[in-house]
Amino acid sequence: MKAWWIRPGVRVLAALLLPLLVPAIITALIWALPGDPAEIICPPSTCGGTSELAARWHLDQGPWSFFTRWVSEALTGEFGMSWRLEQGLPVAALLVESIPVTVKLVLLALVPIVLGVVGAATGIIPQRADGVFATVGLVPALVFALLGSAAVVVKFGASAFSEDANLWRLGIGAVVLGMSDGAFASAVSGVRSVFSAERNQRYVGIAILRGERPLANMLPNVAPALAGQMRARILHLLSGAVVVEVVLGLTGVGDLLWSGTLLQDFGVVLAAATTFACLSAVLLLLQAAVEVGVALHVRRAPPVADAMLAGGG
Amino acid sequence: MSRQLAAIAAAITMLGLVMLALTAPAHLSDAQRELAFAGPFAGSKPDGSPLAGVAPFGADQLGRSLLQYAQQGAAVVIGPAIAAGFFVAVLSVVGGLMRCVGDQRVDAAIQGFGEIVGALPRMVVILVAALLIPSNSRGLLPLALVWAVLAAPGAMDEAAAVAERLGGARFVEALRAHGFSWSRVFLYHIVALNLRPVVVRQGAEVLLQVTFLELGLSYLAVQKDQSSFTHSDSLKSWADLLYMGYTSIGLGMPTSHALVLGLALVGLVTLMAKATTTMVRAR
């Protein structure tokens, strides 16, 4: 049997590596593309001073030098400059504007998913409803998002980018993200299958005979599986946020990443993708924390023999 | 839906989409101004010939048939989507068989791969991969294969779980003790009889996801008036139909028929994937 700490240990290791791995891969891509990286920003045919620009943005001393400088500056909150999207503007400023939008969107989208998880765990949501949720979940986020975008335009007309309209966009985006592409349906069916498998365990039957609530008994045992499922759901939401933000005109990190990709703005892509990697790393750490917490809780429980002695058995 | 009915639905929808793709024109036809914004039931042209015969699903603002959009969109998406689905199906078969072989190092390697690959939002990886594709050789296939690689660990894990429920290496030993050959044990008893529902479902899901990925990437590009990562500028995607249809709601353009056709095509692919999954479900 494997030691209990291996799995959370691997997750912590992955969480520490991920924010380094992503910029490393993108840096390698920048140098893998045909031509000199500096010429991507400033093609010599159309602009002068390519070599000065390369020196200023640390592109003249090879990928390793660029990567180490970028990472060391990123640790201090400096993410370099935008290459094309907002040429010369600090990417950190773009991130400061966009991160709160994405965080709000994902947190709001989590509301229906958490309700679904609670409903499935407690049995409030009946199993016969799963078919309906699965059918709704078949609709891609794009289709729901463009219908939502159309609804905002119809409702607000010329003032479709007003403060009120933006709130509507955020709300609609959260519903779209939470319900489409099977997000809600998978959350409900996943939690239901975990709990229904656990309900068949003998200890649950014994807990019921002792007059205890089965949910309270099952929760510590299913917590690692639930944490894994929730991490997968949040990653799914982060992935879907790109489409939803662009279609609904929400200026989040997904929108920033998309715009940077379209314009081959590696400065923006590097920072936005690393932001996603950091968010993913945080999720890995949270999952590891849950696993460690459950493992410690299980080990703190009295050994069976002692408990039997205490009870006179 | 019964398995027979599902099989018929899957075959018909697949055949229809493949036919659409195979008959796609290389370029849209020339503008026919008299057909501009024509709907599917648009009556007749001034010379008395029926418009619906020229553009059975209606026409765009230049009078070009929307059927050609549907055909080109199918040509863009169907090959890479099938390839990605097949790739994932093969990998999940490998995942299931590896669990039956019972090699713990391979199991650990697959789990480690899944942990790292699964830790990033897929769309982020796709966008970074899209940066690598030169603008003169844009296509959906490389992105579809990247998506398949991202989906593979989950599929392999699920197939491995099914194989484990069978008994893994002990199941193989038991069948070998009955005198069955290796190929019969692995290909017939494990893959065809037991892994089939999971493998085909995973393949069909990835096929559907790749179709939606293409729609998403193309729509976002169209919306920002940029070239799509998934096809050349001379081709139209189903996303163009959706965008054209969207303008009927947002800007009041007479193009709601494009939205209906776009959504119908999305529904067709969804039906194909669902029917394929139902067709092979376990008895």
Residue A117 pLDDT grade (very low, low, confident, very high; cuts 50, 70, 90): very high
Q: Whole-angstrom Cα distance, residue A237 to residue A179?
A: 10
Instruction: Give the span between the Cα atoms of A224 and A231, in whole angstroms.
Output: 11
Confirm whether B92 is domain-assigned: yes
User: CA end-to-end span of chain B, whole Å?
Assistant: 13
User: Burial level of A180, CB count in 10 A (0-12/13-18/19+)?
Assistant: buried
Tell me the nearest-neighbour CA distance from A185 into chain B, angstroms. 15
Share of residues in chain A with pLDDT > 90 (%): 42
Please report the pLDDT score of residue B18 as a whole number: 94
What pLDDT score was predicted for residue A44? 74
B35 in a structural domain: no
* Section A69-96 average pLDDT: 89
* 3-class SS of residue A81: strand
Q: B261 in helix, strand or coil? A: helix
- Indicate the residue of A261, A269, A280 with minimum beta-carbon distance to B121: A280
Could you tell me if residue B89 is inside a domain?
yes
Count of CB atoms within 10 A of residue A111's CB? 12
Residues in Cβ contact with B8 at an 8 Å cutoff, skipping those fewer than 6 apart = none
**Quick check: is B141 in a domain?**
yes
Is A280 at the interface with chain B, CB within 8 A?
A: yes
- Top residue of A142, A156, A291 to mutate, by most chain B CBs within 10 Å, is A142
Question: Cα(B87)–Cα(B199) distance, rounded to whole angstroms?
Answer: 10
- Beta carbons of A60 and A53 less than 8 angstroms apart: no
Q: Which domain holds residue B113?
A: 3-25+57-279
Domain architecture of chain A: domains with CATH: 90-253+290-301 (1.10.3720)
SS (H, E, C) A135-184: HHHCCCHHHHHHHHHHHHHHHHHHHCCCHHHHHHHHHHHHHHHHHHHHHH
Residues of chain A in contact with residue B274, where contact means CB-CB under 8 angstroms, are 138
Q: Is A41 helix (H, G, I), strand (E, B) or coil?
A: helix
Q: What angle do CA A19, B131, B89 make, to 5 degrees?
A: 80
Q: Which residues of B touch A (CB under 8 A)?
A: 112, 115-116, 118-124, 127-128, 130-132, 134, 212, 215-216, 219-221, 223-224, 226, 239, 242, 246, 249-250, 263, 266, 270, 274
Q: What is the pLDDT of residues A154-194, one digit of tens each?
A: 888 777 778 888 899 999 999 999 998 889 999 999 999 89
Residue B194 domain flag: yes
- Given a contact cutoff of 8 angstroms between Cβ atoms, the answer to whether A281 and A18 are in contact is yes
CA distance B117 to B154: 10
Q: Find the radius of gyration of the CA atoms of chain B.
A: 23
Least CB-CB distance to B131: which of A150, A259, A264? Answer: A264
What is the per-residue pLDDT for B21?
A: 93
Quick check: A211 pLDDT over 70?
Answer: yes
d(CA B258, CA B64) in angstroms, rounded, equals 12
Mean of pLDDT over chain A: 87
CB-based contacts of B158: which residues, under 8 Å, 6+ apart?
B92, B95, B198, B202
Q: Is the dihedral of CA A82, A26, A276, A137 positive or negative?
A: positive
Total tally of structural domains belonging to chain B = 1
- Which residues of chain A does B131 touch, with a Cβ-Cβ cutoff of 8 Å? 29, 33, 261, 264, 266, 269
Distances (CA, A) of B18 to A151, B77, B141, B234, B263: 34, 10, 16, 20, 18
Q: Is pLDDT at A313 greater than 50 in this prediction?
A: no
CB contact at 8 A, A273 and A174: no
Cβ(B116)–Cβ(A14) below 8 Å: yes
| Residue of higher predicted confidence among A121 and B134 | A121
Cα–Cα–Cα angle for B97, B102, B104, rounded to 5 degrees = 115
In B, which residues are within 8 Å of A150 by CB distance? 246, 249-250
**Which residue carries 């729609």 as its tokens?**
B215
The CATH number of residue B167's host domain is: 1.10.3720.10
CA B13 vs. chain centroid, Å, equals: 12
- Cα-Cα-Cα-Cα torsion A46, A48, A51, A52, nearest 10 degrees, comes to -130
Report the candidate in B227, B221, B88, B75 with the shortest Cα–Cα distance to residue B144.
Answer: B88
At B65, give phi and psi (nearest 5°): -65, 135
Q: Cα–Cα distance between B245 and B242 in angstroms, integer?
A: 5
DSSP structural state of residue A272: H
The answer to whether the CB of A199 falls within 8 A of the CB of A214 is yes
Q: How far apart are the first and last CA of chain A?
A: 29
Q: Is A183 exposed, middle or buried (0-12, 13-18, 19+ CB in 10 A)?
A: buried
Does A62 score more than 90 pLDDT?
A: no
Q: Measure CA A69 to chain center.
A: 26
Greater pLDDT, A68 or B44: A68
Token duo for residue B71: 């055909």
Q: Please give the model's pTM, rounded to 2 decimal places.
A: 0.84
User: Is B199 domain-assigned?
Assistant: yes
CA distances from residue A199 to A123, A193, A211, A230 in whole angstroms, order as listed: 12, 10, 15, 20
**At residue A7, does pLDDT exceed 50?**
yes
For chain B (283 residues), the mean pLDDT of every run of 10, in chain order, is 88 94 87 72 58 72 87 94 95 85 75 76 87 79 92 86 80 85 84 87 93 91 86 90 85 83 92 90 73
Determine, yes or no, domain membership for B215.
yes
Give the bridge partners for A81, in sequence order. A90
Chain B residue at shortest CA distance from A259: B224
Q: Which residue has the tokens 């459950």?
A: A294
Here the tokens at position B243 are: 């965008």
Residue B249 CB neighbour total at 10 angstroms: 18
Residue B51 located in a structural domain: no
Are A150 and A81 within 8 A, CB to CB? no
pLDDT (0 to 100) of residue A100: 94
Determine the Cα–Cα distance for residues A246 and A142; give it in Å rounded to an integer.
10
